[in-house]
Amino acid sequence: MKAINRNIGILGIMALLAAPLGAQNSDTGSDPVPAYVPPAVPSLAPVKLPPIQEKILKNGLKIIVVEFHEVPVVALRLQCKAGSFYDPPGKAGLTQFMTGLLTQGTESLSATQIAEKIDFVGGSLGASSGWDASNVESSVLQKHLNLAVDLMRDVALHPAFAEDEIERLRQQTLSSIKNAKDQPENLADEEFDKWLFGDFPYAQPIGGTEASVSSFTRDDIRAQYGRIFIPNQSIMAVIGDITAKDGFRLAEKMFGDWKAGSLPTASAAPPPPPQGYRIHIVDKADATQAQIRLGHLGVARNTEDFFPLVVMNYILGGGGFSSRMMKTIRAEMGLTYGISSSFAMRKEAGPYVIETFTKNESTLLAIQETIKLVKQYQEEGPTEKELADAKSYLEGSYPLNFETPGQIAGQLLNIDLYNLGADYIEKYRSRVAAVTAEDVKRVAGRYLHPDNLNVVVVSKVDEVKSSLSEFGPVEVIEIE
């Protein structure tokens, strides 16, 4: 293509040189040769999926089917719209532990038998959970769909929660928790959430603590399964090489006799936002670097300012090496190898956090310069190039979320979970494109609070405490 363009350019120049001089002079009465105008960049087309067909079963389970015949694959995903937010007091990690057991044996099949059956046909079967939802999903070639349907139904509706599997997973989980304590980045993340959220569910590690995991009983696990897995707060996606009629038939076969239940409730009050600077140092005697977390309460996923916030944060700290934080704190000042910012948007307001690391002796400077950068960004807003680059990336990368049936299922269930609207996918690119520099500056001023931060540093307390006292009182936490 480059060679073709080069030849066209040469021919164009030769034609101009060969033309009579009068053809380039408006005084002759002839039209002048127009100046070169680069071709306009074509507007990006909206992402459109095949028709989405829906049905609600008698037990309240919502079914969505999308015919996607490009590949002979069908993805099945059941999403229960409740997750670790509903872990009972003192039982942090219970939902993740419970979903981790779903594929580890049913009333009729052992964990080994389940794995062998799905592996034999080259498919996948898994279960997982997050703060807002719990999932069971499978993906197989269309010709093996009946096997996937039977296995997925068995796993979702008839888990055994066998004592030996509970103990095996307990030991694995406890080992992971203990190992995580040796990782400064994990300590910083957990301490930040703990001090930011207080008694709110987000304060506890989603995977649990040593005390909570050690306390889980089979009755606890079964009770949590009963709270989370109910059809009248769930949705099933059938996406792929299948007709809508067959998709609904399979969904009815899988879950038509599933009994409705009572919706879980949570009564925790959201925490108050930080006032001023709250400084916490986790004392790690062998730390040669300081892990740093700065932040405050963020926003819920259904915020009306979602698109301006995504663009704003991409420019500030979410855009990798193209972000201001990386260019300034890393490249120009050499204070770190990595720094980023993010909003964890959930059903309830999650954290906004800036995370980085630096040498112990430069901890104060790294924090000061990061705060300074945020304030400068609020005052100035983005440059034209920053705004254009951010929007170009977000618009251009969006279709990559719809390349497989499994990805399509995930996107559609996410839209349903957070009530984002039926036109969300189609209008995503145009909504990104509509974000202006004024929008970015507005949301940076409204949602970033550089004078009110929760600050967590994991480092040698003797090497960082005195300098951090400049921000105010410092609380030291010993590693348990």
* 6 or 379, greater pLDDT: 379
Give pLDDT, residue 21. Answer: 31
What does pTM read for this prediction? 0.88
User: pLDDT, tens digit, for every residue of 255-294?
Assistant: 999 999 998 887 788 889 899 999 999 999 988 899 999 9
What pLDDT band is residue 46 in, cutting at 50, 70 and 90? confident
How far is residue 318's CA from residue 297's CA, in Å, rounded to a whole number? 17
Give pLDDT, residue 38. Answer: 43
Helix/strand/coil (H, E, C) string of 392-427? HHHHHHHHHHHCCHHHHHHHHHHHHHCCCCCCHHHH
Phi-psi map region of 279: left, alpha, beta (phi>0 left; psi -120 to 50 alpha): beta
Q: Residue 132, SS3?
A: coil
Per-residue pLDDT averaged across 34-60, rounded? 75
How far is residue 141's CA from residue 237's CA, in Å, rounded to a whole number? 16
What pLDDT band is residue 29 in, cutting at 50, 70 and 90? very low
What pLDDT band is residue 42 in, cutting at 50, 70 and 90? low
The domain spans of the chain are 52-255, 277-478
DSSP letter, residue 271: P
Asked if the 277-478 domain carries CATH number 3.30.830.10, the reply is yes
What pLDDT band is residue 192 in, cutting at 50, 70 and 90? very high
- Count Cα atoms within 13 angstroms, Cβ side, for 299: 20
Percent of the chain at pLDDT exceeding 70: 91
How far is residue 337's CA from residue 61's CA, in Å, rounded to a whole number? 48
What pLDDT band is residue 12 in, cutting at 50, 70 and 90? very low
Per-residue pLDDT averaged across 123-133, rounded? 98
Burial of 168: CB neighbours in 10 Å, binned 0-12, 13-18, 19+: middle
Q: Residue 294, SS3?
A: strand
Going by C-alpha positions, the residue among 364, 431, 351, 424 that lies closest to residue 391 is 431
Give pLDDT, residue 268. Answer: 80
How far is residue 301's CA from residue 316's CA, in Å, rounded to a whole number? 19
Please tell me if the domain spanning 52-255 has the same topology as the one spanning 277-478: yes
Which residue's structure tokens are 């003192």?
A: 90
Give pLDDT, residue 43. Answer: 63
Asked if the 52-255 domain carries CATH number 2.40.30.170, the reply is no
* 39 or 66, greater pLDDT: 66
Q: Where are the alpha helices (DSSP H) in 199-243?
A: 210-215, 218-228
Q: How many CB atoms lie within 10 A of CB 365?
A: 15
Quote the tokens at residue 271: 């925490």
Going by C-alpha positions, the residue among 410, 442, 414 that lies closest to residue 307 is 442
Give pLDDT, residue 36. Answer: 41
Per-residue pLDDT averaged across 109-128, rounded? 98
Q: Residue 140, SS3?
A: strand
For 476, residues 6+ apart whose C-beta sits below 8 A from its C-beta are 280, 281, 283, 461, 465
**How many residues are recorded in the chain?**
480
How far is residue 138's CA from residue 127's CA, in Å, rounded to a whole number? 9
Per-residue pLDDT averaged across 171-175, rounded? 98
How far is residue 208's CA from residue 189's CA, in Å, rounded to a whole number? 14
> How large is the angle between the packed helices 461-468 and 363-380, nearest 10 degrees?
40
Give pLDDT, residue 334. Answer: 97
Per-residue pLDDT averaged across 130-139, rounded? 98
- pLDDT higher than 90, residue 407: yes
> How large is the angle between the packed helices 437-447 and 384-397, nearest 10 degrees?
90
Given a contact cutoff of 8 angstroms between Cβ atoms, the answer to whether 292 and 280 are in contact is: no
